[in-house]
Structure 1
């Protein structure tokens, strides 16, 4: 595997591309030994449970889940012809203006699989181990924040979300936000902050370099309301 990130485009057209262009793909189920590692989680972005079988796949999902520009995704969407062999794509992701397939290091190869045919413009992006390592702080922070979003997703009030968003028009530390809304269940206040970050309505650049703490700054994104 080469060290740099690579993108390529598959150019042939076929009705088989419908699983990517016309509808959401279905996740490929793997038949593995009972002793195989399994990572169970829940995605707020697509509102369903997920199962991963490699730590790097779990980490890549967190990067997908935490990217507000990604509208939807599917894990293990199918096999594609890549580097002259049928490889299982680890993820299909959809942005407002494009789609891409993500392949992680040491992809699963099945010589008997029938690769899907992709439409023009669907990129295959190879994620290297070094890229995941470089995002370790961000990934670990989201591993702490996502459970809060999931467990409170049916309890968050639009009025509280709006008030916190307005309050963070000026950068605010997490502890300052909690103090401002001290009359509200603090678990809901914190989860609301994390939900706003997940939705791309606030930003917190510190989370890419520093561990989440009460002093982490959150700031409303300009033009978002």
Structure 2
């Protein structure tokens, strides 16, 4: 079976009214991505930071039956299947009348379209993960800028080193005199690839005391 992504670039580039534009680099995709609105940026951060997400694409296709500018926010591929994600707008989160566009999304939510599960997401729920979003935002920015400077041999050695949980600071000390920044970015690479985990990412602002362990 082919492992090539079904969607590799956005099909819709129209910016929603008053939506801020974010141009970001995705280490997972190896390309630039353009996102419209803070909610889309936060969802992208979640997808980029999840090792279970193998691939994704922003605005892959229009929503059948919706207005001509309304599209799915992301297509996502995981090991167990594909998803089409929609971020509900404020008007769509309110009680809808029978002629509301929300009815279209309500009927699609939980169904499959071209083999992909459709999921409608309430952006308000992402506020519960503010610390994780901020931490992954920092990790992704550092990977975007410095990933290319990290030797793969270092990543391999780091994988072996975290068979026993260690803090970022301990790993930097253990691998001295190697540059501490390079070691930190190497640790971020392991987290991004799912070769390491850190429970504190969801609860504490990222720092040298965070404990890194094998998944």
The TM-score by the shorter chain falls in which range? 0.7 to 0.9
Would you say 1:192 and 2:175 are equivalent positions? Answer: no
Moved more, 36-45 or 185-194: 36-45
Contact map agreement 2:84 2:118 (CA 8 A) in 1: yes
Deviation at 1:28, TM superposition (A): 2.7
Give the structure 2 partner of residue 75 of structure 1: 58
Distance 1:143 1:22 in 2: 24
Contact map agreement 2:50 2:192 (CA 8 A) in 1: yes
- Find the partner of 2:202 among 195, 198, 208: 208
Deviation at 1:23, TM superposition (A): 3.0
Would you say 1:40 and 2:23 are equivalent positions? Answer: yes
Distance 1:29 1:213 in 2: 38
Contact map agreement 2:19 2:37 (CA 8 A) in 1: no
- Find the partner of 1:99 among 77, 82, 87: 82
Distance 1:137 1:97 in 2: 27
Structure with the higher helix share, 1 or 2: 2
Would you say 1:123 and 2:132 are equivalent positions? Answer: no
Deviation at 1:36, TM superposition (A): 5.1
Q: SS in structure 2 opposite 1:78?
A: coil
Distance 1:52 1:32 in 2: 9
**CA distance change for structure 1 residues 118 and 195 in 2, over 3 Å: closer, same or farther?**
same
Give the structure 2 partner of residue 147 of structure 1: 141
Would you say 1:179 and 2:173 are equivalent positions? Answer: yes
Give the structure 1 partner of residue 126 of structure 2: 132
Distance 2:58 2:139 in 1: 21
Give the structure 2 partner of residue 28 of structure 1: 11
Deviation at 1:24, TM superposition (A): 2.2
- Find the partner of 2:66 among 76, 85, 89: 85
Deviation at 1:34, TM superposition (A): 10
Deviation at 1:30, TM superposition (A): 2.6
**CA distance change for structure 1 residues 35 and 131 in 2, over 3 Å: closer, same or farther?**
closer
Moved more, 59-68 or 162-171: 162-171
Structure 1 gaps, min length 5: 1-20, 110-116
Distance 2:30 2:141 in 1: 13
**CA distance change for structure 1 residues 129 and 22 in 2, over 3 Å: closer, same or farther?**
closer
Distance 1:22 1:31 in 2: 23
Distance 2:26 2:191 in 1: 15
Distance 1:186 1:37 in 2: 36
Q: Scaled by the length of structure 1, what TM-score is found? A: 0.78
Deviation at 1:135, TM superposition (A): 1.3
Deviation at 1:203, TM superposition (A): 0.3
